[in-house]
Amino acid sequence: MRAKLEILALVLGAIGLVGTIAVTALPMWKVTAFIGPNLIVMEAQWEGLWMACIRQADIRMQCKVYDSLLILPGDIQAARGLMCVSIVLAVLAVLVSVCGMRGIDYYQDDSRGKNVILLVGGCLFVAAGLATLIPVSWSTHTIIRDFYNPLVLESQKREIGQALYVGFATFLVLLIAGVILLCRYAPRERKDEEDGPYVPVEKDKMSMLERTPSSNSYWKSQYV
């Protein structure tokens, strides 16, 4: 059962890694809000971390990479860095988990090594999930705030894009993967603490029992 949970955590972590890459690459962070009479409903505008796209009614789509980082709003600039950090953390988490599961056969008696690998892998998955949640939540808050702000022009208002929904789902997947590994770490640590001290005590008792007959025979011989 324990091995199945660890494999499940690894599979969820790999799915989270793919989701993180998809969220970073998709241009659908902010989409056009069709709320005003002046908007052209024959085309939709998408804004992502790296490019902006215009999709027309005849399914033609044109994308253009941003010319400068300075023209981007603060939430998009921060999202670029945080999503790149999230990808790196997710890759490290998957590699640590894979190496740990492959290395279990080589050090089956080393319980501390298993615990450390579970702890590091779980922490990396949780950190990757948090690094994904922060920019996704920040962008979502900015979109909702501007949407209900009467001072913002209707042509500049945007709606929540599909990439943000994928980002929230990715955060949940990475969080579940990390929690599974951390929960598997805690029982193992407690079991090691409970089982560890009793082994040398039993050995000492056995050695004392083995020495007891010889010592009794020695004292008998002295009295005789």
Check residue 50 and give its pLDDT.
92
- Biggest alpha carbon–alpha carbon distance for the chain: 118
Phi-psi category of residue 126: left, alpha or beta, with phi > 0 → left and psi -120 to 50 → alpha = alpha
Contact (Cβ atoms closer than 8 angstroms) between residue 29 and residue 164? yes
pLDDT over 50 (residue 136) = yes
In tens, the pLDDT along 81-129 reads 999 999 999 999 999 988 877 655 555 545 566 778 888 999 999 999 9
Report percent pLDDT > 70 for the chain.
Answer: 70
Check residue 158 and give its pLDDT.
87
pLDDT over 70 (residue 192) = no
Q: CB burial class (10 A; 0-12, 13-18, 19+) of residue 86? A: buried
In tens, the pLDDT along 57-85 reads 667 788 889 888 888 888 899 999 999 99
In tens, the pLDDT along 165-182 reads 999 999 999 999 999 988
Check residue 37 and give its pLDDT.
57
Question: How many CB atoms neighbour CB 131 within 10 A?
Answer: 23
SS3 assignment for 18-49: HHHHHHHHCCCCEEECCCCCCCCCCEEEEECC
pLDDT over 60 (residue 10) = yes
Q: What is the pTM of this model?
A: 0.76
How many angstroms separate the Cα of 194 from the Cα of each of 47, 77, 191? Answer: 55, 50, 5
160's tokens: 């929540």
Check residue 201 and give its pLDDT.
44
Amino acid at 97: S
Please state, in angstroms and rounded to a whole number, the distance separating the CA atoms of residues 105 and 201. 28
pLDDT band at 188 (very low <50, low <70, confident <90, very high): low
171's tokens: 């955060």
Check residue 29 and give its pLDDT.
92
Check residue 73 and give its pLDDT.
87
Q: Which of 8, 5, 18 is nearest to 169 (CA)?
A: 18
Contact (Cβ atoms closer than 8 angstroms) between residue 31 and residue 44? yes
